[in-house]
Structure 1
Amino acid sequence: MDTQSSPTSSSTTTYRNPIIEQRADPWVYRHTDDYYYFTGSVPSFDYIELRRATHIQGLADAEPVIVWRKPDTGPMSHLIWAPEIHYIHQKWYIYFAAAATDEIVDGLFQHRMFVLENDHPNPLEGTWVEKGQIMTPWDTFALDATTFIHQDQQYLLWAQKEPEIDGNSNLYLSIMDNPWTLKGTPTRLSIPELSWECIGFKVNEGPAFLRKQDQLFISYSASATDHHYCMGLLTADIHSDILNAASWIKSDQPVFGTAEAHSQYGPGHNCFTVSEDGQQDVMIYHARNYKEISGNPLYDPNRHMRAQIIHWNADHTPNFGVPVADHISTDQTASVDHAKES
């Protein structure tokens, strides 16, 4: 997301969390029609819904429309995860991950990345056409595809298991030939290597792109999806070769994580948008409001969609603070302390 024109001054914009309950992996896109379009993982993992509103808070009451259901068999027939909606070359696209089975093999689900296309002006209407799987160099666990334009070039950013690297997933970046096809050799940007990226599982996933003045940022989520889940940040100069992994500097500590004092646990899988007045940058993310989980945290449905205003440091780097408490306006409780509470 480009926030080049957004000033760093304060605004009266406020949000009260949670905004949408039981919607993990939330994605919000503000279009030129001034609607915010929302999608996210549903607890049953078997369909994709969209909703829209002219205000982020209004997404809570917006009527959801199911735009695609998984088939009974085939590569997209199980565990529909993390849909995102994008507008590219006058068409709408939804990126999502799906698997041919619920089975876990060698510690991993069997997800691959897929794309839907719709040429109707309103993506809640029209027909969504399956464009197929995004093919990468490895036929392995892959998920969380997102896309952005930088210097007139479309890129895909995603998480995948590389066979020769230990862990669940790393972050990759590639130029795109079209909205469902990669071009050239992908660049591996990051692997889970720091202690806070490897709790429970070695995970780098859920990347999101943010551009601010002369810097580029990629946020991502790390570790198991319980209260250890947290966010890291990659930073690059806007004039650098972003396909050179050396251009990106990784934060040595989480930039957003569990806040026990606010009863917010495992925040992550975020995206970025702007406030209704265009004056502030907003982070959308999910988190739970309790710590103890029975069974596999992936199947606990209570990761709720939330919004929080981003504050900017003097050096033009984002300061995400800590997750705000439920039912408190975000501008009243956002902290400038980067430290993760545990």
Structure 2
Amino acid sequence: MSDYPNPLIEQRADPHIWLHNDGHYYFIASVPEYDRLEIRRSSTLTGLSDASATVVWHKPDTGPMSALIWAPELHFIDGKWVIYYAAAPSQEIVDGLFQHRMYALMCEDADPQTGKWVEKGRIRTPIDSFSLDATHFEHQGKSYYLWAQKDPAIRGNSNLYIAEMENPWTLKSPPVMLSKPELDWEIIGFWVNEGPAVIKHGDKIFITYSASATDENYCIGLLSADTGSNLLDAAAWHKSPRPVFTTNMQNRQFGPGHNSFTRNEQGEDVLVYHARNYTEIEGDPLYDPNRHTRIKTFAWDENGLPDFGVPEPDNRPLTLQKNTAQ
């Protein structure tokens, strides 16, 4: 197992690291201002800490994508770079929710930092409702889209859905709900299932996701299915009864969540996530900027399940302080 600077990158929430076939790591995340998309690149994981950030897109002043740019992910699909992100028309809350919808950008150039990005518009689902946290994965020759969305008929903020894709910005199949917030640890503060991420190991495919409010109650849950099963069959997926990665008070790591996965230079699996190192949050936790990006290697147990361990303590001084203004 490997030791890493903790935090790896300060004030970057919802982190996503893509290990590309050029041998470089590409990093994208939510910024505290929620106003832009920026990419970092490094030949090493730890090099992302000091890598310069290139802004590849900035929100417009008006329109459906003019506020609260959340949870971007960078993928390379069918020879093209794609960024998935969520955006809202304003900071207005309606029926207890922001008004986010999901969007995509596409770049056909080799270098996503210098290439031209084109807006592909909104990714539409059958229900026109709060939706966010999209990710993409391929399995047995098929392309899948996985995301969180509100169903007005189901209690809570968001459920997890999956669909096959026609192309990187168009659904091919009807969405299938895989999970909804229902267990006691998924409904603290808010009823939430969000931030899905996919990893495969052995004969299993796993979806991690985040649950509860974005404070110290935020945690990571786990769904699993056999790799040979029909991934669009909700019955093929099993939900773990307990969270698999949670707050650790002894290490002063609070609300670990919204993870992604990558591999380090040695080929080890790496969990990428954000967490705070304090609980005293003034106002809405979403506007507290100090959810820092953190990474840790993890192992697999004798049953082939991921063993994430506990969030490790900070091991380097922070330069940005609590309650830093946006």
TM-score norm. by structure 1 comes to 0.92
Alpha-carbon distance between aligned partners in 1 of 2:315 and 2:21, rounded to the nearest angstrom: 30
The match for 2:133 is 144
Alpha-carbon distance between aligned partners in 1 of 2:276 and 2:44, rounded to the nearest angstrom: 23
In the TM superposition, what are the counterparts of 1:233-248 in structure 2 within 5 Å?
A: 233-248=222-237
The match for 1:8 is none
Paired letter, 1:140: S
The CA deviation at 1:311 is 1.1
Among 17, 22, 25, the residue aligned to 1:33: 22
Among 290, 294, 306, the residue aligned to 1:302: 290
The match for 1:127 is 116
Q: Does 1:207 align with 2:200?
A: no
The CA deviation at 1:130 is 0.1
Give CA deviations for 1:174-204 in whole Å, capped at 9, x if unaligned.
0000000001211100000001000000000
Structure 1 regions of 5+ residues with no counterpart?
Answer: 1-10, 329-342
The match for 2:274 is 286
Give CA deviations for 1:198-246 in whole Å, capped at 9, x if unaligned.
0000000000001011001000000000000000000111111111111
Paired letter, 2:306: P
Alpha-carbon distance between aligned partners in 1 of 2:223 and 2:258, rounded to the nearest angstrom: 15
The CA deviation at 1:14 is 2.3
Alpha-carbon distance between aligned partners in 2 of 1:315 and 1:226, rounded to the nearest angstrom: 31
The match for 2:102 is 113
The match for 2:321 is none
The match for 2:311 is 323
The CA deviation at 1:316 is 1.1
- Could you say what secondary structure the match of 2:293 adopts? strand
In the TM superposition, what are the counterparts of 1:181-200 in structure 2 within 5 Å?
A: 181-200=170-189
The match for 1:254 is 243
Alpha-carbon distance between aligned partners in 1 of 2:299 and 2:278, rounded to the nearest angstrom: 26
Alpha-carbon distance between aligned partners in 2 of 1:25 and 1:162, rounded to the nearest angstrom: 23
Paired letter, 1:281: D
The match for 2:92 is 103
Give the number of the structure with larger relative contact order, counting CA–CA contacts within 8 Å between residues 6 or more apart: 1
- Could you say what secondary structure the match of 2:175 adopts? strand
Q: Does 1:61 align with 2:50?
A: yes
Paired letter, 2:117: W
Paired letter, 1:114: Y
Paired letter, 1:155: Y
The match for 1:17 is 6
- Could you say what secondary structure the match of 2:173 adopts? strand
- Stretches of 4+ aligned residues off by more than 3 angstroms: none
Among 58, 80, 91, the residue aligned to 2:69: 80
Alpha-carbon distance between aligned partners in 1 of 2:173 and 2:251, rounded to the nearest angstrom: 45
- Could you say what secondary structure the match of 2:48 adopts? helix
The CA deviation at 1:171 is 0.0
The match for 1:3 is none
- Could you say what secondary structure the match of 2:172 adopts? strand
The CA deviation at 1:56 is 1.1
The CA deviation at 1:126 is 1.2
The match for 1:227 is 216
- Could you say what secondary structure the match of 1:232 adopts? strand
Among 134, 147, 169, the residue aligned to 1:180: 169
In the TM superposition, what are the counterparts of 1:326-341 in structure 2 within 5 Å?
A: 326-327=314-315
Alpha-carbon distance between aligned partners in 2 of 1:77 and 1:169, rounded to the nearest angstrom: 22
Alpha-carbon distance between aligned partners in 2 of 1:183 and 1:90, rounded to the nearest angstrom: 19
- Could you say what secondary structure the match of 2:155 adopts? coil
Alpha-carbon distance between aligned partners in 2 of 1:87 and 1:258, rounded to the nearest angstrom: 32
- Could you say what secondary structure the match of 1:255 adopts? coil
The match for 1:156 is 145
Give CA deviations for 1:117-160 in whole Å, capped at 9, x if unaligned.
00110100111100000000111000000000001100000000
- Tell me the C-alpha RMSD between the 2 structures: 0.8
Give CA deviations for 1:316-338 in whole Å, capped at 9, x if unaligned.
1100111000118xxxxxxxxxx
Alpha-carbon distance between aligned partners in 2 of 1:319 and 1:122, rounded to the nearest angstrom: 35
In the alignment of these two chains, the number of paired residues is 316
- Could you say what secondary structure the match of 1:185 adopts? coil
Give CA deviations for 1:237-282 in whole Å, capped at 9, x if unaligned.
111111111111101111001000000000000000001122x100
